[in-house]
């Protein structure tokens, strides 16, 4: 079985911009924690240009991470959180996104929808994710 590619919706969630890229989808979820999509849009391109993989996060300089993430707020906490996430992610010692540091219900729901292709198995609570989920459920049958 190949990589699942979630269909693009009229809602333009940030996760839709990284089809098939589990690391970037989960990282976006962490970066969105306690900030807005509008704020994330200001930094996400530079962030992934500099740190396109979990390995690159582990070797990233803390101050460089902080400087790029400053517009998101909580930048010191985010930098530490991303390093811990990347380490756990690369260990492979996890079964669902919620097993990873910094990934709660929102990240796990997004992972199920955009990575695993199991939108029918989740009930999101986040408004934007719920918009995508409702659109998906009304347009695609369970397979």
Active site residues: 126
Residue of 77, 72, 73, 74 whose CA lies nearest to 40? 72
Q: Check: CB of residue 107 under 8 Å from CB of residue 26.
A: yes
3-state secondary structure 18-84: CCCCHHHHHHHHHHHCCCCHHHHHHHHHHHHHHCCCHHHHHCCCHHHHHHHHHHHCCHHHHHHHHHH
Residue of 44, 14, 41 whose CA lies nearest to 107? 14
Residue 97 DSSP class: G
């Amino acid at each position: 079985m190949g990589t699942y590619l979630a269909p693009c919706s009229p809602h333009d969630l940030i996760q839709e911009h990284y089809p098939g890229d589990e690391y970037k989808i989960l990282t976006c979820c962490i970066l969105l924690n306690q900030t807005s999509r509008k704020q994330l849009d200001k930094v996400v391109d530079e962030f992934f240009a500099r740190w396109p993989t979990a390995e690159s996060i582990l070797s990233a300089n803390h101050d460089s991470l902080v400087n790029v993430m400053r517009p998101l707020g909580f930048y010191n906490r985010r930098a530490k959180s991303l390093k811990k996430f990347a380490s756990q992610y690369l260990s492979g010692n996890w079964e669902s996104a919620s097993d990873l540091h910094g990934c709660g219900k929102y990240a796990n729901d997004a992972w199920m929808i955009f990575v695993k292709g199991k939108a029918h198995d989740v009930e999101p609570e986040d408004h934007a994710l719920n918009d995508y989920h409702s659109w998906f459920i009304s347009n695609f049958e369970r397979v």
